[in-house]
Amino acid sequence: EAGVAQSPRYKIIEKRQSVAFWCNPISGHATLYWYQQILGQGPKLLIQFQNNGVVDDSQLPKDRFSAERLKGVDSTLKIQPAKLEDSAVYLCASSLQGNSYEQYFGPGTRLTVT
Amino acid sequence: AQTVTQSQPEMSVQEAETVTLSCTYDTSESDYYLFWYKQPPSRQMILVIRQEAYKQQNATENRFSVNFQKAAKSFSLKISDSQLGDAAMYFCAYRREKAGANNLFFGTGTRLTVIP
């Protein structure tokens, strides 16, 4: 079974530029999560999708972050414009259903904003 | 709001010895799940063990076991016969049982070093 795929693995941009991350969940997984992990901290949820609908985006900085999940499969997370404090690892995870206890994580994208 | 606290930023253990990582959490809910995840330098989170709050029996997975104290809101991880491959960041995490928004709440992690 293929795992959660993410790209790119690394990205370096200057502040005020825009960036996009892509996630392909495990086939058949209805629920998709984006987490932000700042250095030295645990991951924090940015947004949760159930199929192509948003379940929770209360922690997403909507003035600069946006996310979509087209056709309930792949998802894209965008930051525009980026700030220095956005430097972090962005992890995507998926689960079979929202109540399924196990979330499977991708390898993450490390973003550095200079 | 749910909070998860890991008070040990770093721990070390001799190869083949036993180590215990601590975790406490705060919640007003009665039904929930607790997890320990391992994050090696590759950054991919790997599930080590899970515990359902309604189960009194402590979970065990091979060399990994937990000590779940619901009243004290404590959830420690014991690694027996430590191996070099156990070296990683370990995160304690909480998840609600309810349907809908059921994301994981993570602690700040404990970096485990295994000394040969």
pLDDT at B102 over 90: no
Minimal Cα–Cα distance from A82 to chain B, Å?
22
Average pLDDT over residues B8-15: 97
**Using one digit for the tens of pLDDT, what is the confidence trace for A67-107?**
999 888 999 999 999 999 999 999 999 998 756 668 999 99
Q: What is the C-alpha separation between A99 and B95, in angstroms, rounded?
A: 10
Q: What is the C-alpha separation between A17 and A10, in angstroms, rounded?
A: 15
Minimal Cα–Cα distance from B15 to chain A, Å?
25
pLDDT at B2: 76
Mutation for testing the B interface, residue in A38, A89, A101 having most B CBs under 10 Å:
A101
Report whether B38 contacts B82 (CB < 8 A).
no
Contact list in A for residue B103 (CB cut-off 8 A) is 33, 35, 45, 48, 56
pLDDT at A102: 85
Minimal Cα–Cα distance from A81 to chain B, Å?
25
**Using one digit for the tens of pLDDT, what is the confidence trace for A45-72?**
999 999 889 999 999 999 999 999 988 8
Of A93, A98, A101, the CB nearest to B100: A98
**Using one digit for the tens of pLDDT, what is the confidence trace for A1-38?**
689 999 999 999 999 999 999 999 999 999 999 999 99
Q: Which residues of A83-99 are buried (b: 16+ CB within 10 A; e: fewer)?
A: eeebbbbbbbbbbeebe
